[in-house]
Structure 1
């Protein structure tokens, strides 16, 4: 097996961890992760979808999602002050005051220079594209970006792995996914890919070098 294509998840790999993103958001708004995810689940319930699917698959617009979030939070947590939440511009507010993960950004550049095809495989949102791409500054570096809201399929659906491999002209066994969610790594492996579960920068760097046969740098 020869790895030719390396795919990096955005949220939790190229970005700070999801928990850190939520903590930053809570400091800005006073709304915590549990409250946010409960409200998102309420917005998704009529669609019978995962709590992130309505926006990550462009089933609804951010404006529609924002109205749903305000209603759900008001109903679930009537004493909660949401006056600092700008749900209509949530992507800008969510990513503000956050920096990309420098170690993973450096890996993207290193493996691109080494001749690998490098991509970003992300479950993301139409209206959030500008702030997240501005954060990582990898336009013109990566070979492809496969974004759930544009291809209308999201990890861990196996179709997204088939599509991603085809877009860079690689066989499944020539691809590896780096992702922070076990279910996405499991789905990638079931699709014939290799996968590395992100736990920390050092572990991913070591496992990726071992997988592709590149020596560790000093």
Structure 2
């Protein structure tokens, strides 16, 4: 029986949790997570999409999105201090100092060493590629990368999993997704994938071993 292909999400699996990144951004810029999330939703609502979809589907460039964020933040709070924020090159500032999740990096490398295929399946942003690729560099070479901003569809749309299967040449039954969002895991399962809902490192490693037979990390 062929080895499964293990697909790792980037944000929240190979990278730190999103809430941790919001807190870090708050510390650097003074903009609170609540302010950011409200503005994200407002910009996306103007296009009739989910909060991060304008970037993750490349509906707006980073610079266009950044100008919209500044506009809606100032509309909501005319006195807001945005002097420390650089929205038109948001990714550079957002990912500053971010390091990969060492346990998930080790898990990916361990899987490759045991003959498993490894991919990255992520909702991501065109202009952020240099930053996130640098973060996941410790994983080493992977078999396939599928980005929402490239294929034009984002999780949890089931179509992105079909695109991933085609890109990697791997049938659904051989695909396993590790993702921090339950709705993405449910969508993957709906098209015949297996999935591990990432909640913490230890549980994820244990559940992945149960699904794939990958030996435990030493």
Category of TM-score, reference length = shorter chain: over 0.9
Q: What's the offset of the Cα at 1:216?
A: 2.4
Q: What's the offset of the Cα at 1:210?
A: 1.2
Match of 1:131 in 2: 131
Structure 2 counterparts to residues 168-207 of structure 1, below 5 A: 168-207=168-207
The alignment status of 1:147 with 2:132, answered yes or no, reads: no
Please say if residues 175 and 194 of structure 1, whose CA atoms lie closer than 8 Å, have aligned partners that are also in contact: yes
Please say if residues 120 and 146 of structure 1, whose CA atoms lie closer than 8 Å, have aligned partners that are also in contact: yes
Q: What's the offset of the Cα at 1:79?
A: 2.6
Match of 2:57 in 1: 57
Q: Count residues with an aligned counterpart.
A: 218
Please say if residues 133 and 139 of structure 1, whose CA atoms lie closer than 8 Å, have aligned partners that are also in contact: no
Q: Deviations over 1:29-70 (max 9, x none)?
A: 011221111111111112110011111000010110011000
The 1-side partners of 2:69 and 2:83 are apart by 12
Match of 1:46 in 2: 46
Is the deviation greater in 179-188 or in 33-42?
33-42
Please say if residues 2 and 212 of structure 1, whose CA atoms lie closer than 8 Å, have aligned partners that are also in contact: no
The 2-side partners of 1:34 and 1:45 are apart by 16
Is the deviation greater in 123-132 or in 207-216?
207-216
Match of 2:88 in 1: 88
Is the deviation greater in 37-46 or in 101-110?
37-46
Match of 2:210 in 1: 210
Which consecutive residues of structure 2, in runs of 5 or more, have no partner in the other structure? none
Which consecutive residues of structure 1, in runs of 5 or more, have no partner in the other structure? none
Q: What's the offset of the Cα at 1:206?
A: 0.7
Structure 2 counterparts to residues 14-29 of structure 1, below 5 A: 14-29=14-29
- Output the aligned Cα RMSD: 1.4
Q: What's the offset of the Cα at 1:209?
A: 0.9
TM-score, length-scaled by structure 2: 0.96
TM-score, length-scaled by structure 1: 0.96
Please say if residues 120 and 144 of structure 1, whose CA atoms lie closer than 8 Å, have aligned partners that are also in contact: yes
The 2-side partners of 1:44 and 1:213 are apart by 41
Structure 2 counterparts to residues 113-128 of structure 1, below 5 A: 113-128=113-128
Q: What's the offset of the Cα at 1:138?
A: 5.4
The 1-side partners of 2:16 and 2:2 are apart by 30
